[in-house]
Amino acid sequence: MFDYESMRLIWWLFIGVVAIAFALTEGFDFGISTLLPFVGKNDVERRIVINSVGPVWEGNQVWLILLGGAIFAIWPSVYATLFSGLYLAMMLVLFSLFFRPAGFDYRNKLSNPTWRNTWDWCLFLGGTLPPVLLGVLAGNLILGLPFHLDQDLRPFYDGSFLGLLSPFALLCGVVCLVGTSFHGALFLKCRTEGSVQERSRVVASILGLLLILGLAAVMAWVFLGLDRPEITQMAGGDAPSNPLNKTVVAVGAGWLAHFMAHPLMLIAPATGMLALAMAWLLGRGQSTTAAFVFSCLGIASMLLSLGLGLFPFLLISSTAPGSSLTLWDATSSHKTLVLAFWITIIFLPIVLLYTRWVYKVIWGSITEASIIKDTHTLY
Amino acid sequence: MFGDDIVMLSRMQFGLTALYHFLFVPLTLGMTFILGIMESVYVMTGREVYKDMTKFWGKLFAINFAMGVTTGITLEFQFGTNWAYYSHYVGDIFGPLLASEGWMAFFLESTFVGLFFFGWDKLSKVQHLSVTWLLAIGTNISALWILIANGWMQHPVGSEFNFETLRMEMTSFADIFFNPVAQVKFVHTVAAGYVTGSMFVLGISSWYLLNKRDIGFARRSFSIASAFGLASILSVIVLGDESGYTSGETQKIKLAAIEAEWETHPAPASFTVFGLPNQETQTTDYALKIPYALGLVATRSIDEQVMGLKDLKQQSVEKIKNGMIAYGELQKLRAGDRSDATKASFNAHKDDLGYGLLLKKYTEQVTNADAVMIDKAANDTIPKVAPLFWTFRIMVASGFTMLFIFAMAFYYCATRVADQKRWLMRMAVWGIPLPWIAAETGWFVAEVGRQPWTISGVLPTNLSVSSISSEQLWFSIGGFALFYTVLLIIEMYLMIKYVRLGPSSLHTGRYCFEQAASA
């Protein structure tokens, strides 16, 4: 199982796992920040919302940092092409992330209402812009990005920032925001009581429906309206990583045919839609944990669907299909993949274990009484 | 191949954002350790004042930590956004080091930092103490991995160029991990972090003592800081990163530039305390030299000859000629000539391929470079001497000033008269900026001294950049300037506010301001 080809496939799965962990944990952090000004009507209620993720948002954010680090380590040319090509978009993601640490840590340091209100809107931006931008990014992964590699494998981007904002990509951005907000609302239902919980329930019942409709629209658009390139010839799965050693046609059999070729892959989007429907139905009622668990399952399945849909592509080039990057020809060396594999096999369980312990310690409802009791130590 | 403005702006952005990030990192490194020590004393003695100390210094740590997190993400992003060719070229080695930092360090510190602040009532004493130490260990492991990564950029061992994938690939992880440059850098940098934390606590405690407030609290903080600070500053100086300058060509060039050693002198060379390095004439005017006086700073050259810049440049010329051959063979390999002779010739010269790439600045084809171009490229391998010469001396001077402060503070603590020495306490307050000055100048020496390379001898800086426009760069630089300025003002405001409040910010009712207010 340690041959180069298997390692490349395993790492595709591992990075998928990291991406899913990021979406599930940072997803509700983003979500509660987006909902903050709306489900919290006064300072105590807003502090309830913020403290629902108080002890964990920092650890959750590491999944994003690890996702970046893992792509850098495993798919260096993807990292190089994506981050430099989408320069302005990435800078906007980065700048919007700036609002979060300061927002969480500094808000309660002064009791001035204007100060706190300003930070609330900063947190709103910090929780709202990244999912929109990352959704737009996901949309563009499906559409393909205008880039090419030169003979030295140096990536060049042939498009512009505005070019990213096509109607399809914008739809993806909106759906992604609805998704994180829905996920965050279900999380708040688990961790709060009273009026904040009730408002979260109402929000979830609206957003859940929107999310399902939005995802259905995205899928219909992808299956019926978008072209999918196809690889016609490439070196074997254990060949040295050189993305230029393959032939790709811009228009292949299409996305639906890609799934139909291996119908088992359809389980992923089907599970995703069903799980999100369950999360929505349960979330409208009194259910807390079950609805949140279904939301996690739904989000994970939708990300898996994205990965399977692109497979074996990682980055599709819309202008020079032959420069597209795949999991077979854009990875690091065999040695590096094996090394990183062992590091992950050892540390992933350790990280999950202590993260679980921390969640166990802090778990429980955040109430008005608890905020008032620990007013000087909580966020 | 790219406009000089792209290279210059990319360097400026990375350099400034990295220096800005490093305003917060050393304090985090030091404070987590000091918090661990304070809380250990609390758990062992059960005295509440040590718990208050952990909580109060923890509040200041929190204000700082938020900025460290914010500005750290920037650096990870920039490898991809601004140094795309670098990311492609060395991602095979550099990427796993960053990912290891994520797995082993970022998760540890970020998961436990929340419990440190919010877990006081939810955990037993020993559990909370363990959380604090795990936080401290996390920050230190983080430093370990990033310095292994940086050490590899200074002295790239355990890797080689692969002509099929057109990039550097890992050959030995052990060599990269145990890279001598990385190891001394790690010790030097974390110890400098401990010094920063100690100076911070020492200075602020002194200010409380000078103002005769919260005496018991401040005195205990002062003595912990003085002991930890003295041990740390001695580690920084004695185990300094000096010994790292003996491995690798670029490190040798850096050392010669720091010392403004134009000529090779027989060992042991004299140490130039002051002088005016002159790049044009390649001499140091008005040099004040102390023969043999290498002392603690320069122990490395007692038994080893320091090669002068003129000879080092001559070495670069030879390497550039080798690099031209390597580049020529690489072109043949890429064109499909996979004969054994070509491969053998390429393998014989490929270690100097990077020196061949230096010529790209003067001729795209590389193999047709003439003597003038080679000479220019060799000149490029010698960094500007004066800035390195001076920043290094500022760093060393800051270090020795702090050694004096900590030694005095420790001595007077041991003799129990520290709070009568007002001159010392004043010096400690004014000395608070010193560790930051030392750290920032130290990084300036390390990184500017590595130019013209991003990876010493492997990849020139001007080839490492992304294919982006100067408009894009100005947009991001503008964004950083705006956000970082506003954030710094807010951070400093909060820091000063909470320093002034002192332990009364804990609302225990036991400290200055509170007795008066409640009375």
pLDDT in tens, A25-43: 999 999 999 999 999 999 9
Least confident of A270-274, A306-310, B511-515: B511-515
Q: Between B329 and B298, where is the model more confident?
A: B329
pLDDT confidence of residue A375: 83
Q: Do A81 and B121 touch (CB under 8 A)?
A: no
Residues B427-439 pLDDT 10s: 999 999 999 999 9
Other CB atoms within a 10 A radius of the CB of residue B248 amount to 20
Cross-chain residue pair A358–B123, CB shorter than 8 Å: no
Are A87 and B101 within 8 A, CB to CB?
no
Summarize pLDDT for B84-124 with one digit per residue, the tens.
Answer: 999 999 999 999 999 999 999 999 999 999 999 999 989 99
A312-337 average pLDDT score: 95
A234 touches chain B (CB under 8 A): no
The reported pLDDT for the residue numbered B269 is: 67
Judge whether B494 is closer than 8 Å to chain A, CB to CB: yes
* Rounded-to-integer distance, Cα A297 and Cα B441, Å: 50
Q: How confident is the model over B345-383, as pLDDT tens digits? A: 999 999 999 999 999 999 988 989 899 999 999 999 998
Region B482-492 average pLDDT: 96
Distance in angstroms between the alpha carbons of the first and the last residue of chain B: 73
On whether any CB of chain A is under 8 Å from the CB of B509, the answer is no
Predicted confidence (pLDDT) per residue in A350-367, tens digit? 999 999 999 999 888 888
Our CA angle for A64, A69, A70, nearest 5°, is 95
pLDDT band for B302, please (50, 70, 90 cuts): low
Average pLDDT over residues B47-61: 95
Q: CB-based contact (8 Å) between B165 and chain A?
A: yes
Give per-residue pLDDT as tens, A130-187.
999 999 999 999 999 999 999 999 999 999 999 999 999 999 999 999 999 999 999 9
- Asked if residue B296 has pLDDT above 50, the reply is no
Inter-chain CB proximity B80 and A57 less than 8 Å: no
Separation CA B237–CA B410 (nearest Å) = 17
Query: In this predicted model, which residue has the larger pLDDT, A252 or B74?
Result: B74
Contact A90 B111 (CB under 8 A): no
Q: Could you say which residues from 422 to 481 on chain B have a Cβ atom under 8 Å away from some Cβ of chain A?
A: 466-468, 472, 475-476, 479
Provide DSSP, A134-178. HHHHHHHHHH-B-EEE-TT--EEE-S-TGGG--HHHHHHHHHHHH
Helices B48-82 and B215-238, axial angle in degrees (round to 10): 40
pLDDT for the residue B18: 96
Instruction: Name the packing angle between helices A87-106 and A113-143 (round to 10°).
Output: 150
- Integer angstrom CA distances of residue A255 from A221, A259, A308, B180: 10, 6, 10, 52
Q: What's A244's DSSP letter?
A: T
Say how far apart CA B467 and CA B6 lie, in whole Å: 9
